[in-house]
Structures are given as structure tokens and as C-alpha cells.
Amino acid sequence: EAKTQGRNRHSFFTASMQESATRQRKLIKDLRGALEQEQLEVYYQPIIDLKSEEIYKAEALIRWHHPEYGFVSPVEFIPLAEETGLIIEIGEWVFQQAVNQVKEWRRLINPDFQLSVNKSPVQFHQETPSNWAESLSRSGLSGNAITIEITEGLLLESDQSVKDQIESFHVAGIQVALDDFGTGYSSLSYLKKFDIDCLKIDQAFVRNMEEGSEEHILCEAIIVMAHKLGIKVVAEGIETEQQKVLLVSAGCDYGQGYYFAKPVEAKMLTAQLIKEKRCA
Ligand code: C2E
Ligand code: MG
Ligand code: MG
Ligand code: MG
């Protein structure tokens, strides 16, 4: 009996591994046409000023509506886009969408509105680095319309071209935010070295935060140190009132999470921004 079970278990794992390999191959294949077939869309999640509880800016987050699989998470397909290099084309498209959108929101709602755009490390290693500062000015926008979100891994590289690109953002007035802070290896010294404007505390800290917990203490310490370095702090993944309260008393500047708002289509955020403006 044990033998049968063993064999079954073996074939079970093999089957599911094969299934996921097949899915991966199919996703890679379909991702090539996804842009052209208009299956990709950019959603926007508000980032809230924790003092006023008003929407301060928003983050652009890509969505893929796959014809067979339905919604496919960026957690699944962004790594595939990075492996295949498709992230270059997709990343440029997201950036252009964000530029058009921030332009509209600046015109309609608030001339200071800003959008955050994620930029993969792979995009920093293009042979001819894209010039987002120039694209912005061609669109008639100042650099402060966009914040680039980078991840810690990028800062650990000693690549001069990466440093130069980050420096060129600063020259253009584009802000740089360090995403998912606390999960990688970067230390606070990197924040200074790379002149980071803002850091985003990873959801993992916020999720398990209770009064007096290790996560709570770490968040407080990160916020104090960041502020001493002149860096603003966003807490990601706020889902409860209690998390918000603890972060406010820790002096956190901004918050992002389902407690405030989920990522939504542009037109839904437009409606919300108009409503908020009327109430103000
Ligand atoms: P991220 O940049 O850290 O984005 C925040 C993620 O947290 C988003 O997931 C957002 O929907 C999710 N989130 C926000 N609030 C909450 C909350 O209260 N609870 C929970 N459970 N989740 C929350 P999403 O949209 O699935 O994106 C996942 C990751 O995929 C992003 O993490 C980013 O690393 C990557 N990604 C998304 N869009 C792009 C893009 O255009 N370019 C690149 N390079 N990466 C992207
Ligand atoms: Mg991000
Ligand atoms: Mg993040
Ligand atoms: Mg991330």
C-alpha cells in the first residue's frame, strides 16, 4: 500500500509541477501579445496623507486580463517579463500611461498631483537607458509629477550606470522611493548614499503590527531614522484601523492599503478625487 501511495504522491507532484511549467510557458508566450491585444491595464492605488487623511498621490500598478486564465497577478507575470526582457516594453508603456494620467489629474483636480511608477532593476540595465526625465518634459510636466519606485537589490549593485540614472532623476526633480523596505539587505546608509526621497515600509511589517510587537518597534525606529535623514515614509499594506493608529502615533507620513482604498481603474479614482475635492 505504501508503495502505491508513494507512487501516487510522486505522480501527483510531477503532474502539478508540469502543470505550472506549462502555465508558465503559456504565460510567457501570451505576454508577448498582451500589450498589442490590449489585455494590460494600469490601476491606481491612492496613497494617503496620514495627517489630513486625504489622497496625496497614487501608485500605478499593472493588471493583466488574460483571455483564458482571467486575472493574472503581477506577482506572477512581472518576474516572467523580467526574465524575457519584455519588462522593458511593458515598463515603458506603464510609464507613458502614468504620464498621461497624471497630466489629466493635474489639469482636472490638483496641479500638484503625483504618481508613483515601479521600475524593475532590469529596466536600469537596458543598453540605451530610457530617458524618463526627457519624456516628462516633452509632455509638459515637471519632474515632480512622477516618483520612481525602486527595490533594495538595485542599490546593492555597484553599477555606475545605475547610480548615474538615479542621479539624473534627482537633477530632473523626479523623486525616488525605495519600495518594500526592510525585506532586503539594504541598510540605512544606502538611503543617504543614493539620496532616496522616500521609503516604503514593506507590508510584512505592517501586517503583523500590534502594539509593542517587534514589527511595531521596528517601524518606529525606521521612521525616526528616516526622518533624521530627511526622508519621508510610506507604510504599505495598511488594512486595519489599529495599524493606522499605531503608524500615525509613530509619526509615519503616508499610508497605502486596503483600509483606505484598493487599486482601481483610472476613471474610478477620477470620480473619487472629484468627490474629495468637492468636500474640501
Ligand atoms: P509593490 O510595488 O510593492 O505594490 C504594492 C502591492 O501591494 C500591490 O500589489 C497592491 O495591490 C498591494 N496592496 C496594497 N495595499 C494592500 C493591502 O492593504 N493588503 C494587501 N494584501 N495588499 C495590498 P500588486 O498590484 O499585486 O503588485 C504586486 C507587485 O508587482 C508590486 O509590488 C510590484 O513589485 C509589481 N508591479 C506591479 N505593477 C508593476 C509595474 O508596472 N512595473 C513593475 N516593474 N512592477 C510592478
Ligand atoms: Mg511599488
Ligand atoms: Mg511595495
Ligand atoms: Mg514589490
Residue position matching grid coordinates 515603458: 92
DSSP state of 177: E
Q: What's the pLDDT band for 180 if we cut at 50, 70, 90? A: very high
Dihedral, CA of residue 231, residue 212, residue 202 and residue 57, to nearest 10: -60
**Could you tell me which residues come within 8 angstroms of residue 2 by beta carbon, excluding any fewer than 6 positions away?**
none
Full-prediction pTM beyond 0.80? Answer: yes
For residue 81, what are the contacts with CB-CB under 8 A and spacing of at least 6? 31, 87, 90, 120
CB within 8 Å of 247: residues ≥ 6 apart: 50, 206, 209, 219, 235, 238, 255
Q: Is the complex ipTM more than 0.85?
A: yes
Distance separating alpha carbons of residues 274 and 272, to the nearest angstrom: 5
C-alpha–C-alpha distance, residues 17 and 204, integer Å: 28
Residue type, 256: Q
In this structure, what C-alpha cell is assigned to residue 214? 517587534
Kindly report, residue by residue over 219-261, the tens digit of the pLDDT.
999 999 999 999 999 999 999 999 999 999 999 999 999 999 9
- DSSP category for residue 144: G
CA of 125 to the centre of ligand 1 (A): 22
129 lines ligand 1 (CB under 6 A): no
Dump pLDDT digits (tens) for 109-146: 999 999 999 999 999 998 887 889 999 999 999 999 99
- Ligand 1 contacts CB of residue 237 (under 6 A): yes
pLDDT for the residue numbered 279: 76
Cell of 32: 508577448
**Helices H / strands E in the chain, number of each:** 12, 10
Query: What pairs with residue 136 in β-bridges?
Result: none
Q: Is 171 in the pocket of ligand 1 (CB under 6 A)?
A: no
Burial zone of 68 (CB within 10 Å; 0-12 exposed, 13-18 middle, 19+ buried): exposed
Does the CB atom of residue 182 touch ligand 1 within 6 A?
Answer: no
Report which ligand 1 atom has the smallest distance to the Cα of 258. 18
DSSP 214: H
C-alpha 203/C-alpha 75 separation (Å) is 14
What distances in angstroms separate CA 207 from CA 41, 239, 256, one per listed residue?
A: 27, 8, 12
Nearest CA to ligand 1 atom 12: 237
Residue 5 has pLDDT above 90, yes or no: no
Q: Tell whether ligand 1 has an atom less than 6 A from the beta carbon of residue 42.
A: no
Q: What percent of the chain has pLDDT over 70?
A: 94
103-107, 172-176, 186-190: least confident range:
186-190
Nearest of 247, 194, 241 to residue 223 by alpha carbon:
247
